[in-house]
Structure 1
């Protein structure tokens, strides 16, 4: 199925995505599809559009940067699904689409005749992706907000400065992880469709995504019955692996093996610590992490974080200052990673897609659309 908007030379050129996603998880997934060449048609309420259009400040060019962050390479179709004529056009869009992505509460799409079984009857080849907070069963009525899932899903129980002080991640991390899993699920279903000719229903929820993404912490519970708690910036299984003060700003030291620890001790001028029985192996260091931390804090205090980075990095010690975003972008640019990209010709600078493809890299052809910007052209195509 093609739309006349194919972007030749990109991996997903010719794939039409009907994007009913709002806010972050689903729009993040569909933006990735757009970056890789898909024609993403974003269906929005004509009165308000995506909620994140109003989620500011900050604003850039009159639009909330929250919205701009996840909606490039899309066309906006303002569609009132309560209107019969519009609803028929949307059904025609779905009939022609390869992928449908939605993150409404379970039951909402069904009210508009767009539940999976309805859509499958129209288009058996479609890959239909539903993103929910807690699944479509007993958790269907629960609101799927990232902060809520960070709390009830256990992430906040291991995040914070000290026991009893849980803290959320500084971004909507669960939404982003869910969007990534949704993208992987859709791509897997499209690959399977290449073989069988049939689409399927891809279901992703925030809670299950978080439990899977907590990897070693989750496995420690399921396999060993260990319920982890808040350790501040320390690691439950590795030491030294935390934040230390220096003469000017915090420094992260992330030592992963005995060789790196010996190099750290050499760089700090205390090589004998690597031979101390309390710190000889990683397991020993974890058992005596408080003593080790106090000794390293004393050694690191006299010099700046940058000075220690310059001393320790050539020795193979993983370390670095705690940067703000401006410094983080500066670092990426100094390493030639090109983290900023113009969104459309002469557009605002966005953040680059991190996927590197040697022959068909992501493209940034179009800036995030204005509400309903492409309604007329989409309706003319659907009516033809």
Structure 2
């Protein structure tokens, strides 16, 4: 890989990334972090849509904007960027050649969007029967909504997540809310990675690849988890209850003398310990609260009683007392507090990488910790077309003169 060290778990795997924005790039970044050679194909001149999704922008050593958005930087580490004009037949030919050398293709065009270029699964399968081809769309390859564009915010609403998120009706600030990050895109990227690795494992036995059809809506509904089964099993439509848990009490935020904290009691023993820490050990034996089903039934009464006590002390004092009692408890941190947290710092969650336009770029580390093939940070998120010549030589053995001619014709 032309001087890029690669000794990860997926060393030798070639991924052609035709996706943009977040769900697809999140999946391909994870594969890249695990050692795959990921080549990101972008439009000449503009590239991935998220390159323009700023501010904030990465600053150079003089504090000037480099034009690289923080949004783009979050999902494109360890990749190589190639610019190719897909609207031109010669550009389509180049991508086909790259696909013939790839193990995996990831794309998130609209349904049928790549067939006009001969870059759909059926076409590329003829060139490379071992290809694992992952398509990510809002609603999947089939169904009445298949042709619609799908965005995370839209899917959070349609998929039920927003109906569960937000303050309860009749309370201050009531109403549905989206999650503060594009969580459906992220979880779809994770499901895509799992599916790709499963398809590769099967290919080792069968010798052939396959098509993966992933829909944001499907993923969002799957990730409703217990809330979905609560409805399917119980027949009752869940409602918004703020930060509380539908099945466990007490499991929510509580006011303190200087802010708020979270108490997350998962069993009756922890509840008894909580009561002792609150100075009310008798609550643990009260028939109204002695078991979780009874606490759920008497939720409002119990929560009011706990709130009446937690407001008497500062958050830090309560957290220390709860930790000593073995009660799961913690603060609600802002992001500056997150990255200042000693646990976060000890795990090296923030990393820095060199960047061609800046002294360095700060990123969030991959959370996977592997003993024998750890994640390696080989390549900062690439600038647009940074590796075009390198990849065409590496994957296609193309001569430098031919690459220069393609550049002259504005194909790259």
Relative to the length of structure 1, the TM-score reads: 0.96
- 2:218 is equivalent to residue 208 of structure 1: yes
Cα distance in 2, alignment partners of residues 66 and 372 from structure 1: 18
Cα distance in 2, alignment partners of residues 311 and 23 from structure 1: 44
Q: Counterpart of 2:289?
A: 279
With over 3 angstroms needed to count, the CA separation of the structure-2 counterparts of 1:6 and 1:119, relative to structure 1, is: farther
Q: Counterpart of 2:133?
A: 128
Question: Match of 2:180, SS?
Answer: coil
Question: Match of 1:203, SS?
Answer: strand
Paired residues of 1:45 and 1:79 also in contact (CA < 8 A): yes
- 2:390 is equivalent to residue 377 of structure 1: yes
Pairs within 5 Å for 1:345-364: 347-364=360-377
**TM superposition shift of 1:7:** 4.2
Q: Counterpart of 1:365?
A: 378
Paired residues of 2:188 and 2:214 also in contact (CA < 8 A): yes
Paired residues of 1:7 and 1:38 also in contact (CA < 8 A): no
- Out of 310-319 and 92-101, give the one that drifted further: 310-319
Pairs within 5 Å for 1:46-195: 46-61=44-59, 62=66, 63-137=68-142, 138-163=144-169, 165-195=175-205
Query: Of the candidates 20, 23, 26, which is equivalent to residue 24 of structure 2?
Result: 26
Cα distance in 1, alignment partners of residues 305 and 46 from structure 2: 57
Q: How many correspondences in the alignment?
A: 382
**TM superposition shift of 1:380:** 3.1
Question: Match of 1:348, SS?
Answer: strand
Cα distance in 2, alignment partners of residues 84 and 241 from structure 1: 58
Show structure 2 runs of 5+ residues with no match. 60-65, 400-412
- 2:49 is equivalent to residue 37 of structure 1: no
- Out of 151-160 and 86-95, give the one that drifted further: 86-95
Cα distance in 2, alignment partners of residues 249 and 60 from structure 1: 33
RMSD: 1.5
Question: Match of 2:341, SS?
Answer: helix
Pairs within 5 Å for 1:210-359: 210-331=220-341, 333=343, 336-344=346-354, 347-359=360-372
- 2:15 is equivalent to residue 17 of structure 1: yes
Paired residues of 1:18 and 1:43 also in contact (CA < 8 A): yes
Question: Match of 1:236, SS?
Answer: coil
Show structure 1 runs of 5+ residues with no match. none
Relative to the length of structure 2, the TM-score reads: 0.90
Query: Could you give the per-residue CA deviations for residues 108-147 of structure 1, whole angstroms, max 9, x where no partner exists?
Result: 1111101100010000001000001001122222221000
- Out of 11-20 and 346-355, give the one that drifted further: 346-355
Cα distance in 2, alignment partners of residues 22 and 356 from structure 1: 27
Cα distance in 2, alignment partners of residues 315 and 259 from structure 1: 11
Cα distance in 2, alignment partners of residues 172 and 180 from structure 1: 13
Paired residues of 1:332 and 1:338 also in contact (CA < 8 A): no
Question: Match of 1:129, SS?
Answer: strand
Cα distance in 1, alignment partners of residues 110 and 342 from structure 2: 38
Question: Match of 2:322, SS?
Answer: helix
With over 3 angstroms needed to count, the CA separation of the structure-2 counterparts of 1:334 and 1:87, relative to structure 1, is: closer
Question: Match of 2:97, SS?
Answer: helix
Paired residues of 1:134 and 1:142 also in contact (CA < 8 A): yes
